[in-house]
Structure 1
Amino acid sequence: MCALKHIPAIVLAAGQSSRMRGADKLMQDVDGEPLIRRQCRIARQVCERVLVALPPAPHDRYTAISGLDVTPVPVADAAEGMGASLRTAFAALPKTARAALLLLGDLPDLTQDDLNTVIQAVDLNSETLIWRGTTSDGRDGHPIIFAKALFAQFAKLTGDLGGQSIVKSAGHRVARIALQGNRARNDLDTPEDWANWRALRD
Structure 2
Amino acid sequence: MNTEEKYYSIEAILLAAGESSRFNDTKQLAFVDKKPMLVGTVEMLKQVNFNSITVVLGANASNIENVLQQVNLEPGLESITLPSVTSIIAHKWQQGMGASIAAGVTNLAQEITHVFIGLTDQVEVRSEQCSLMVIESRKNPNKIVAAFYNGKLGAPAIFPKAYFAELALLENDKGARNILRANATTIISIDMPEAARDIDTKKDLLSYESNTQT
TM-score band by shorter chain is 0.7 to 0.9
5+ residue gaps in structure 2?
72-83
Please state how far the C-alpha of 1:45 moved relative to its aligned partner.
2.0
Task: Describe the SS at the equivalent of 2:123.
Answer: coil
Q: Which residue of structure 2 lines up, in the alignment, with residue 89 of structure 1?
A: 104
The equivalent of 1:20 in structure 2 is 23
Letter in 2 for 1:199: S
Q: How do residues 114-133 of structure 1 correspond to structure 2 at under 5 angstroms?
A: 114-123=129-138, 128-133=142-147
SS at match of 2:196: coil
Contact 2:115 2:160 in 1 (8 A): yes
Q: Verify: 1:173 aligned to 2:186, yes or no.
A: yes
RMSD: 2.3
- Check if 1:134 corresponds to 2:145: no
- Alignment TM-score, normalising by the size of structure 2: 0.83
Distance change >3 Å, CA 27–CA 56, structure 1 → 2: closer
SS in 2 for 1:122: helix
**Identity rate of aligned residues, in percent?**
26
Give the 4+ runs in structure 1 shifted more than 4 A: none
Q: Is the 8 A contact 2:29 2:64 kept in 1?
A: yes
Tell me the number of residue pairs that the alignment of Structure 1 and Structure 2 aligns. 197
Consecutive unaligned residues in structure 1, runs of 5 or more: none
Residue number in structure 2 paired with 1:159: 172
Pairing 1:4-15 to 2, within 5 Å after superposition: 6-15=9-18
User: Cα–Cα, structure 1 residues 78 and 100, in superposed 2: closer, same or farther, change >3 Å?
Assistant: same
Measured after TM superposition, the shift of residue 171 of structure 1 is 4.0
Shift, 1:86, TM fit: 1.0
Aligned equivalent of 2:33 = 31
Distance in 2 between the 1:57 and 1:20 partners?
14
- The structural deviation recorded for 1:170 is 2.2
Structure 1 residues 81 and 145 mapped into 2: Cα distance closer, same or farther (>3 Å)? same
How far apart are the structure 2 equivalents of 1:89 and 1:110?
21
Aligned mate of 1:194, from 175, 182, 205: 205
